[in-house]
Amino acid sequence: MFTRITSLLIIGFISSPWVNTWAESATSNTNSQTNSQTNSQVIYLVRHGEKELGPNAGKDPQLAKAGKARAEQLARILKGVEIDAVYSTDFTRTRETARPLAEQRGLPVQSYDYRKLKEFAVDLDQAGDRILVVGHSNTTPEMVALLGGEQGAPIRESNEYDRLYIVIRDRGQVTTLLQRYGKDSRQHHVAELSQTQ
């Protein structure tokens, strides 16, 4: 509960006009990186929400009920942020995760190729000041690293859906914040296992 409340406070802080001053003075988790922008840029990166499982899910599964709730929660958390662009890989589960925020902001969900992450990272330099990127358990940490941030431990593919990276790029410096949002996805996984046993 404390972590979720802290996340809301931090995200509110990130969306405030004085993020430039804060980002300039922040020293933890900071790496040097060349950034052609003169303004600060904040990129929010998440893995898609919980997906449908089982033999009927198919090769491109939709979000499960828990994943849809998580997508709505993400939109609520980022409601006060002036998002300029929303990006998703071209899979149903990632598009469905991005859709609530995109619709709320009146933005299209733009597709990117998960096989060309280096090129996409370069494209993000000119994509706007506040961006949401929805990816996968393997591509999201890789994107964080390509943006100059710290990816942390690998995302657990089987049950970790609540990680929210906030990558702040300001005047050649990169600061990475790692937060959790929505319901603890490990609880969903435990409930799922108990139902199948």
Q: What is the pLDDT of residues 106-144, one digit of tens each?
A: 999 999 999 999 999 999 999 999 999 999 999 999 999
CA angle 146/150/152 to nearest 5° reads: 120
The whole-number pLDDT of residue 45 equals: 98
Task: State the pLDDT at residue 60.
Answer: 93
Whether residue 49 has pLDDT greater than 60: yes
Mean pLDDT, rounded, for 100-109: 97
Q: Which of 20-24, 98-102, 179-183 has the lowest mean pLDDT?
A: 20-24
**pLDDT tens, position by position, 27-37:** 334 443 433 44
Strands in the chain per DSSP E: 30-32, 41-47, 85-88, 109-111, 130-135, 163-170, 173-180
Q: Which of 125, 122, 123, 162 is nearest to 140 (CA)?
A: 162
Selected from 3.90.180.10, 3.40.50.12780, 3.40.50.1240, 3.90.79.10, the CATH number assigned to the domain covering 2-196 reads 3.40.50.1240
- The answer to whether residue 72 scores a pLDDT higher than 60 is yes
Q: Following CA atoms 16, 20, 24, 26 in sequence, which dihedral angle do they give, to the nearest 10 degrees?
A: 10
Note the pLDDT of residue 184.
79
pLDDT(11) > 60: no
pLDDT at 38: 54
pLDDT for the residue numbered 52: 93
Residue 186: predicted pLDDT: 61
